[in-house]
Amino acid sequence: MIKIEIWSDVVCPWCYIGKRRFEKALAQYEHADEVEITWRSFELDPVAPRVQTEPHAERLSRKYGVSLAQVATMNQRLIGEAKKEGLDFNLDEAKGGNTFDAHRLIHLAAESDRAGEMKERLMKAYFTEGVPIGERAELVRLAMETGLEEAEVKAMLSSDRFVNDVRSDEARARAFGIGGVPFFAIDEQFGVSGAQPADVLLDALRQAYANSQSAEVS
């Protein structure tokens, strides 16, 4: 069994693009049925307010110290890269916010083997549908669409459940020296940083498998 840990944030555009590229690699991987995937939490902006009222373009302009025209150029590049992977980015409609609760929701979904589905639903909601990703009412709605129970989701969000799990993921990222996402850790031996092409990820999977087979023989 090859164990893959993927650190990402639901408001990270390259993480969504990287997710699609990883899925393409996995579809070509000969031993995909022997892969165990764990989604790890990573917050790009841990101090972000729950609901972000500043327009997306203006926030990026301030964050990176670039003009609105430069932001527009950056966004067009992202939209183009996303389209290559079959993703429809509506960045002008993106409504940012704190993602800590979203990460807790993914941990909850993992208990019923729905972490990947929850991750996908959250990313689509943010990048395509303009859903304010920090609003708990929206998180409840998205979770229910993914098959989670409303009462359990509401109870989790009103408690401190999975707080330590999110913090533990982030501490593990720091221990590995991960400073940016997406980051793919394979069997704690191979690390792939960034939204690399599918063939790069496929090569890493095959190399990890070859190493695991060698280790079993020896």
Answer yes or no: is pLDDT of 216 > 70: no
Domains defined along the chain, listed by start: 2-217 (3.40.30.10)
Compute CA 12 distance to the chain's CA centroid, rounded to the nearest angstrom: 7
Q: Which residues contact 55 (CB under 8 A, 6 or more apart)?
A: none
Query: Can you give the C-alpha Rg of the chain in angstroms?
Result: 18
Least confident segment among 49-63, 110-124, 185-199, 204-218? 204-218
CA distances from 93 to 25, 49, 57, 155 (A): 30, 18, 10, 30
Compute CA 189 distance to the chain's CA centroid, rounded to the nearest angstrom: 21
pLDDT at 76: 96
Sign of the dihedral through C-alpha 12, 66, 98, 41: positive
What is the rounded average pLDDT of the residues 50-79?
91
* Phi and psi based region of residue 86 (left: phi greater than 0; alpha: psi -120 to 50; beta: remaining): left
| pLDDT tens column, 79-105 | 999 999 999 999 999 999 999 999 999
What is the rounded average pLDDT of the residues 147-169?
98
With cut-offs at 50, 70 and 90, classify the pLDDT of residue 151: very high
User: What is the pTM for the complete model shown?
Assistant: 0.95
Sign of the dihedral through C-alpha 86, 20, 9, 182: negative
Residue for token digits 């699609």?
20
Please provide residue 41's backbone torsions phi and psi, each rounded to the nearest 5 degrees: -80, 140
